[in-house]
């Protein structure tokens, strides 16, 4: 299974225009950064383009120079920010390391991303991965490609003997991502309150232990 472009023509709108000047590209990035914060605070439906322009510190009309509408902005956030996540997963799969080490890196990546970019994770969870409206209007395989990488990771662990031979890699991939999403959702909703870096580090250790011990051979 491989990722395909976003449906409904949004992929083209989401990508920076070829030949964009450095200033134009920086303005576009300011819009995306501002939109992430506004969407996280107000929700996608509660946010206005004017709110995003104000947060970015630019003229209202300048937003429309880069994006057609609010949906275009959300599509760009998904395409580019989710794309970074997928790229990291692919690099991790290809890394020369044990399954345990890769799992530790993956869990750290997820939790550290929330710790340093809480608004981004809030938008990805609330407005994208849990939004049937968004997923119905986009190619679901752009989301499922993340499952493919985790599945490959588990297959590697099974082949190396680190994981049990009877582990269903596809099923386990859903389990791993499901657990990770619920932990991040707890952070987003404030039901898992964490006040310092050390507490996040303990969460990482505990999550790795829970996932690894449930899959490991012996």
The pLDDT tens digits for 132-151 are 566 566 556 677 788 899 99
Q: What is the pLDDT of residues 56-106, one digit of tens each?
A: 999 999 999 999 999 899 989 888 888 888 899 999 999 999 999 999 999
Q: What percent of the chain has pLDDT over 70?
A: 83
d(CA 170, CA 152): 9
User: What pLDDT sits at residue 2?
Assistant: 31
- Domain formed by 10-215, architecture: Orthogonal Bundle (1.10)
pTM of the model: 0.82
Q: How many CB atoms lie within 10 A of CB 107?
A: 23
User: What pLDDT sits at residue 189?
Assistant: 93
CB of 6 closer than 8 Å to CB of 138: yes
d(CA 210, CA 156): 19
Structural domain boundaries in the chain: 10-215
Confidence of residue 196 (pLDDT cuts 50, 70, 90): very high
* 123-144 burial code (b ≥16 CB/10 A, e <16): bbbbbbbeeeebeeebbeebbe
Structure tokens at 174: 């859903």
86 burial class (0-12, 13-18, 19+ CB within 10 angstroms)? middle
Structure tokens at 51: 């709110």
User: What pLDDT sits at residue 81?
Assistant: 85
CB of 165 closer than 8 Å to CB of 216: no
CB of 80 closer than 8 Å to CB of 22: no
Give the distance from CA 119 to its chain's centroid: 11
158 burial class (0-12, 13-18, 19+ CB within 10 angstroms)? buried
């Amino acid at each position: 299974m491989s990722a395909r472009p976003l449906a409904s023509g949004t992929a083209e709108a989401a990508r920076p225009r070829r030949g964009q000047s450095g200033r134009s590209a920086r303005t576009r990035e300011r819009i995306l950064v501002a939109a992430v914060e506004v969407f996280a605070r107000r929700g996608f439906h509660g946010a206005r383009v004017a709110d995003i322009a104000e947060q970015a510190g630019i003229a209202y009309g300048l937003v429309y120079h880069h994006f057609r509408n609010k949906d275009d902005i959300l599509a760009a956030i998904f395409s580019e920010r989710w794309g970074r996540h997928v790229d990291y997963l692919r690099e991790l799969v290809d890394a020369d390391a044990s399954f345990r080490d890769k799992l530790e890196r993956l869990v750290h990546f997820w939790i550290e991303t929330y710790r340093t970019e809480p608004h981004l994770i809030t938008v990805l969870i609330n407005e994208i991965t849990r939004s049937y409206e968004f997923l119905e209007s986009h190619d679901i395989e752009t989301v499922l490609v993340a499952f493919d990488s985790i599945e490959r990771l588990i297959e590697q662990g099974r082949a190396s003997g680190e994981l049990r031979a009877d582990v269903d890699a596809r099923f386990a991939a859903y389990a791993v991502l499901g657990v990770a999403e619920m932990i991040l959702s707890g952070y987003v909703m404030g039901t898992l309150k964490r006040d310092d870096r050390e507490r996040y580090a303990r969460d990482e250790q505990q999550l790795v232990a829970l996932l690894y011990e449930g899959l490991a051979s012996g």
